[in-house]
Amino acid sequence: MTVKKDTLLNTLPPEWPEDLLPSIQALIKESKTKVVVLDDDPTGTQTVHNVPVLTEWSPDSLETVLSEPEAIVYILTNSRSVSLSAAQAINREIATQLKAASRATGRDFVVVSRSDSTLRGHYPGEVTALAETLGQTFDGALIIPFFLEGGRLTINDIHYVTEGEWLIPAAETEYARDATFGYTQSNLREWVSEKHQGQITPQAVVSIPLAELRSGGPEAVTALLGRVRGGKVGVVNAATYRDMEVFVAGLLQAEAAGQRFIYRTAASFVRVRGGIMPRPRLTAADLAPTGKNGGLIVAGSYIKKSTMQLEAAQSLPNVTSLEVSVENLLGAGGSAEEIQRIAHLANESLAAGKDTLIYTSRRLVTGSDATSSLQIGQVVSAALVKIVQSVSDKPAWIIAKGGITSSDIATKGLNMKRAQVVGQAIPGVPIWRAGPESCWPGLIYVVFPGNVGGPEAIAEMIQILRGEKEHGSS
């Protein structure tokens, strides 16, 4: 049932009074354990800064990052865009390589399986594949979809999506009707049971309630985690970053005492588990793109929020709008012609100094089942990649809208092997700098999640990159 956000939040007990991030940082430093985030699309970097992202997992790359002193590294798997069997194969391969790199470097690690804050993705398949391949005895898996920047809160075990002043149970949103990853339950214990096809009952799932976080602190969390043993699943409630700090402090105490967990989380957990302090939003001066060409916006996300954001961006001056017909891409022999048409127009527009918006037609085309729907998405994303590969000169910057779109353009369109997360100018929207091996080293690359930001968010990001606005308000 939809509830007023303020009304529900006002019923909660007061937050834990102590700032726990310094003690979390001390525990992380003492453990020397690397937090390896396997990100099923590139939007999971939306809460961190000064963190490396790998788009490949060769032994040399993994040994290098495990040897580096930083607490966190992201590995972009893009596994949400592929079938379950392919996603599991990717996770098994990375887990095998990580174990070898750990032996070679002597650096221990923990794994975060980062996925969507609106509960879409290959769960439990990815977590199962990771746990089996890592070969450790895990006490259990922890489900933590809290993502403050995107308005995703978990209260009384119900996961909510914020829309304005309202909290909407996740199963009542358009995300739950996803053709591939749909679900019917908003209560996380019931959601876990649904995703495990009833093999786990809701009653068997351990809940970490807000009341315990806020009244009992880290010690209460450690005690509750003592019930997550024998491969059980635990779900974590959180409505603020202080709640997450309390949970992570208790989690680290439990792990120091010998417990082992695998995490399935959204992005907010990662920042706290890595002991990263929040930083101010990036400004136009921080980014300061150069060059005479216009910027490039590429949008594959089709949800209503994305469409509203595109309409606002189109209303800006000096923006060329180019629609890619999905029907032409899927039609017999029409794909190459459509790609060539858009690429030609984009090159003309960028060379004229205009910011150029390339977006897929807004009518959603789905297949007869989850697999065929994924395949349609792959065809569309491949076309967008080919268009970007056909851009002749370096744009001033690139905004990629949608998880699959932003991953494929980074890895296939721009040949990024490693990037640095600079930070965020708009909450929940990560900005990368491309590594030296990419097509355009140093390029500012904005990874814009499909489900984040208000109606003006893309327009605001364009204005920031142009230097017309200091930072975003969305």
The confidence band for 403, taking pLDDT boundaries of 50, 70 and 90, is confident
Tens digits of residue pLDDT in 46-75 = 999 999 999 999 999 999 999 999 999 999
pLDDT of residue 470: 74
Does position 472 have pLDDT exceeding 70, yes or no? no
pLDDT of residue 262: 96
Residue 2 to residues 151, 172, 188, 237: CA-CA distances in angstroms? 14, 9, 16, 18
Of residues 193 and 473, the one with the higher pLDDT is 193
* Residue whose structure tokens are 């969390």: 221
The confidence band for 400, taking pLDDT boundaries of 50, 70 and 90, is very high
What DSSP character marks residue 238?
B
Does position 4 have pLDDT exceeding 70, yes or no? yes
CB 428 within 8 A of CB 452: yes
The confidence band for 196, taking pLDDT boundaries of 50, 70 and 90, is very high
d(CA 210, CA 215): 8
Which residues share a beta bridge with 265?
114, 144
**How many residues belong to the chain?**
474
The confidence band for 132, taking pLDDT boundaries of 50, 70 and 90, is very high
Q: What is the pTM of this model?
A: 0.90
Does position 365 have pLDDT exceeding 80, yes or no? no
Q: Does this chain's domain 3-273 share its CATH topology with 284-466?
A: no
pLDDT of residue 237: 98
Instruction: Tell me which of 152-161, 255-264, 461-470 is least confident.
Output: 461-470
pLDDT of residue 473: 62
Amino acid found at 264: R
Q: What average pLDDT does the structure give for the chain?
A: 93
**Residues of the chain above pLDDT 90, percent:** 81
Going through 164-301 in order, the beta strands assigned E by DSSP cover: 166-169, 206-208, 232-236, 261-265, 296-299
pLDDT of residue 332: 67
Does position 88 have pLDDT exceeding 60, yes or no? yes
Q: Which CATH class is domain 3-273?
A: alpha beta
pLDDT of residue 7: 97
Average pLDDT of the segment spanning 239-252: 98
**Residues of the chain above pLDDT 70, percent:** 96
CATH superfamily of 284-466: Four-carbon acid sugar kinase, nucleotide binding domain (3.40.980.20)
Provide the token pair at 446: 């904005």
For β-strands 140-144 and 109-114, DSSP reports them as unpaired
Tens digits of residue pLDDT in 159-195 = 999 999 999 999 999 999 998 999 999 999 999 999 9
Which DSSP helix (H) or strand (E) runs through 123?
none
pLDDT of residue 289: 73
Tens digits of residue pLDDT in 301-353 = 667 788 899 999 999 999 999 999 888 888 766 688 899 999 999 999 999 99
What are the structural domain ranges in the chain? Answer: 3-273, 284-466
CB 160 within 8 A of CB 167: yes
pLDDT of residue 156: 98
Average pLDDT of the segment spanning 363-368: 66
